[in-house]
Structure formats: C-alpha cells, structure tokens
Amino acid sequence: IDALTHAKHRAPDDARLALDRPWPALWSRLPSNLRRDLPRKQRQLERRGALELVTLRTPGPVLDATLDACFELETRGWKGEHGSPIQRDPRTLLFYRELARELAEAGRFALYLLYCGGQLAAFEYCLRGGGHIEMLKLSFAPELAAQSPGHVLRVLLLQEELARGDL
C-alpha cells in the first residue's frame, strides 16, 4: 500500500480509506509530499495526452472486456516480471472476475480507469459502500511510472466518490 492510502488512525497495511467531506478535509490528510508533487505529475501526464477518468460500476460485457485489459496491463509491470499478476493463476482470475460481477450487481463495485491520450494508463479495482472505499488492486502502464499515474488516478477517483456522495 502506498502513501496515498495511509491515513491517520488506521493500521499501516489497511487498504481502507475513510472518505472525509468536503474534499479539502481529505486532501489535508494526505502526505504533504504527495500533495506537493501530485499537481506536477498530473501536468506531466497531461503533456503526454488528454486525461480521462472512466468509472465502470455495472456488470456486463464492457466490464468483462475492460477487466481483461486491466489484468493484461498488470502483467506488463513489475508484477508480471517478479510478482504474481492476477492473470497468472486461473483461480485468482476467476475470483476477481466473479467478485466484480457480483458486487457490481449489488452496487458495491467500481473499476476506475485513467486514460492518457486514449490509452489505458492506470486502473484501480475497488469495493465501495458503508462510507468507505477499499482499494484492492492498482496497476499502471510501466512506461508512465515517472508520472505516477496510479497516484493521479487515486486522487481523481477520491474526488469523484466525494462528489457522488452515495457511499
């Protein structure tokens, strides 16, 4: 878990983030180095192409195809070379697919996608509800690592969730 998901009053390995309202309250809890660097990283990404945040919340063929693209993206990074990407184990792949479908039907799932210049730059696989969001899987295009697309995506998705206000 990276610095963005570490907040006060939580265990260091807990991927659950309480969503404070309004946005400035949550922003102020994030690490100062992240708050300082993130605007610059986002500008660097924007110079490479227009950024678009897409959120999928409903089950169906679009979600299934997008999960395929996300899990393929995960294999291109360090997990593909030295870790255990979801696609490597058929049981793990089935688990994450079924979890997404079942919780999407219940309104408790969100797949957040950050596109840069029309290409998938990062994704976050999340469970949502009960006033919080659980960020289970994050991956990003390794060629964009210097621009921190995962951090940019997380901040954008947190802003979206706070604006929606339906957790």
3-state secondary structure 7-67: CCCCCCCCCEEECCCCHHHHHHHCCHHHHHHHHHHHHHHHHHCCEEEEEECCCCHHHHHHH
From 37-41, 79-83, 159-163, the region with the lowest mean pLDDT: 79-83
What pLDDT, on the 0 to 100 scale, is given for residue 1?
29
pLDDT in tens, 62-87: 999 999 999 999 999 888 777 889 99
Residue 54 backbone dihedrals phi, psi, to 5 degrees? -120, 135
Greatest mean pLDDT among 6-10, 36-40, 84-88: 36-40
Q: Coil, helix or strand for 84?
A: coil
Output 84 or 127, whichever has higher pLDDT: 127
In this prediction, residues 53-69 reach a mean pLDDT of 96
pLDDT in tens, 97-126: 999 999 999 999 999 999 999 999 999 999
What pLDDT, on the 0 to 100 scale, is given for residue 147?
97
Residue with tokens 């393929």: 72
Q: What type of residue is 9?
A: H
Q: Give the CA diameter of the chain.
A: 42
DSSP states of 103-159: HHHTT-EEEEEEEETTEEEEEEEEEEETTEEEEEEEEE-GGGGGG-HHHHHHHHHHH
Cα–Cα distance for residue pair 165/15, rounded to 1 Å: 20
What pLDDT, on the 0 to 100 scale, is given for residue 11?
45
> How deeply is 50 buried, as exposed, middle or buried, from its count of CB atoms within 10 A (0-12, 13-18, 19+)?
exposed
Instruction: Please answer whether residues 86 and 71 qualify as being in contact, where contact means their C-beta atoms are separated by less than 8 angstroms.
Output: yes
